[in-house]
Amino acid sequence: MTSAESVDLLVLGAGPGGYVAAIRARQLGLSVAIVERRFWGGVCLNIGCIPSKALLHASELFEEAGHSFSKMGIGIPSPTLDLKAMMAFKDQGVDGNVKGVEFLLEALPDLPPYTRLVFAEREALSESSKLVKLAAEKGFAKLYAAPKDSTGWILKRAKEHYQAAISSRAAAALASVTSEDLRRADSELFKLVSYAEGREITEADVALLTPYVQEASLFEMVDALAEGRASAAARLLHRLLDDREDPFAVYGMIVRQFRLLLLAKEHLTSPGGSPQTVAAALGIKPYPAEKISKQSRAFSVPQLEHIYRTLMDYDVKMKTGRIEPKLALDLLIASLAR
């Protein structure tokens, strides 16, 4: 469906409520589009209500056979549980319902040409999918895939939709915050455009107005540790604690950062390793990979291994109640910044 097209009714979800509403709307002459993330029949028919109730029903009968039948004068041998057969019973019920929905697909070739069917999938549908093949035979199928790195999308969106300028570093910073969630990226971008009031959006604006400030503070804190500035590192630590109430979450951020630094350092010191290949090797976005590559220069592999072991030691002490999390973080900063 393109932005220039419209339908009378857009149904969100092909569950028992959604597909029934869509069918009834078509019977009344409306043009209809259905958006379904994963299953024909929705969660209810596939992994929710129907399979759960099938297993509950079988479990209740098992319990009655073992404990209640004798009270009613019914004597039977002690029942045994065949879990594989019970799961097959559940799957049979699910298949019956889902195939009933799939049967509706047979009506698709007879639908009017203005009908549009939209799937919101976590992964692209296979070319061998019945739906894709049917669409190709009777009309067309088009994949609208979210970009792996939304930096370019953010730059284009700012220019074309908001008539605003955003620096490439600011766009990369925003992309690192919002990941592949374009709706969230657009919401944050709108906020930044309103704040900038016509001037170019900078990385500092992203740090000020979005959760990126936590990542920025984390990078600054690691820089301070590498340079032995314990007081600056402690101040940045408490800024993170103020932003996130849970010290375990902050500790997790620190552990992840030093794990990435260690992996980056090992990659850069290995044959063929380079700053340009760090993002792919670590499975992270190019922007944080660039920063991590630069930070790793301040440490040796043995230093990072020692820091990581120290982090693991404090982690055990916190989780076993031998030390309070906030105190552990302060002691950690003091020990690492020497």
DSSP 188-243: HHHHHHHHHTTSPB-HHHHHHHSTHHHHHHHHHHHHHHHTT-HHHHHHHHHHHHHH
Give the model confidence (pLDDT) of 189-207 as tens digits: 999 999 998 999 998 888 7
DSSP state for residue 12 in the 8-state scheme: E
Whether the model pTM is above 0.75: no
**Closest to 151 measured CA to CA, from 117, 174, 121, 119:** 174
Kindly list the domain boundaries of the chain, sorted by start residue: 9-138, 151-209, 212-336
The pLDDT assigned to 2 comes to: 45
Of the ranges 29-33, 194-198, 231-235, 317-321, which is most confident? 194-198
Q: Under 8 Å CB-to-CB from 265, ≥6 apart: which residues?
A: 296, 299, 300, 301, 304
Q: d(Cα 126, Cα 130) in Å, to the nearest integer?
A: 9
Angle at 289 (CA atoms; ends 287, 293), nearest 5 degrees: 125
Level-2 CATH architecture, domain 212-336: Up-down Bundle (1.20)
Q: d(Cα 294, Cα 223) in Å, to the nearest integer?
A: 10
DSSP 47-61: TSHHHHHHHHHHHHH
Query: How long, in residues, is the chain?
Result: 338
Percent of the chain with pLDDT over 90: 8
User: Tokens 């309103």 appear where?
Assistant: 194
CATH superfamily of 9-138: FAD/NAD(P)-binding domain (3.50.50.60)
